[in-house]
Amino acid sequence: MSRSQLVFSVAQLKEIQGLLAQFSQQADVRCAILADMSGQDIVSWAARTGTDLDSISALAAGNIMATLEIGRLLGGQRACNMVVQEHDDMTILVARVGQGLLLLVATARDVPLGWSRLTIKRAIDRILPIVGTAAMVAPPPGISDDFEHIFSSQLDSIW
């Protein structure tokens, strides 16, 4: 249930798990995941057994980090709060919870996007007081300013 390097009490995890389990009560919600920005699943729920929630968590974190980096490279701030993916049969929303966590919710394609966005916003508003300052640890930059130089040096040392 808890594989993140963040430390949460059993009571906190149960409270978050109860919150995510409420998604199971909604029609056509396929999964909900709270993870840290390194991609470690903290608490998750899925309608279908056998769903690889660990991989989904890691990919969702990578997606948010890549989106933040794209924004930075285009001259924006690291302030993206939600990524929406519209697939043929589902919609996936990945939202930041504070600076250091993310919440992923996957729904059937016919679930209204406005409902999903509002539901995530309300869930985040309930999660933040539970996790406290753990949500405020900002993720590291995707690519540091000297990345290219360090990468080039490492390649040169190999050859």
| pLDDT 10s digits, 122-153 | 999 999 999 988 778 766 555 556 666 676 77
- Report the C-alpha gap between 107 and 116 in whole angstroms: 8
What is the model's pTM? 0.81
Closest CA to 33 of 23, 19, 43, 18: 43
- Report the C-alpha gap between 127 and 131 in whole angstroms: 6
Strands (E) across the chain are located at 29-36, 41-46, 82-86, 90-97, 101-108
How high is the mean pLDDT of the chain?
85
* 10-158 has CATH 3.30.450.30 classification: yes
- Report the C-alpha gap between 127 and 4 in whole angstroms: 16
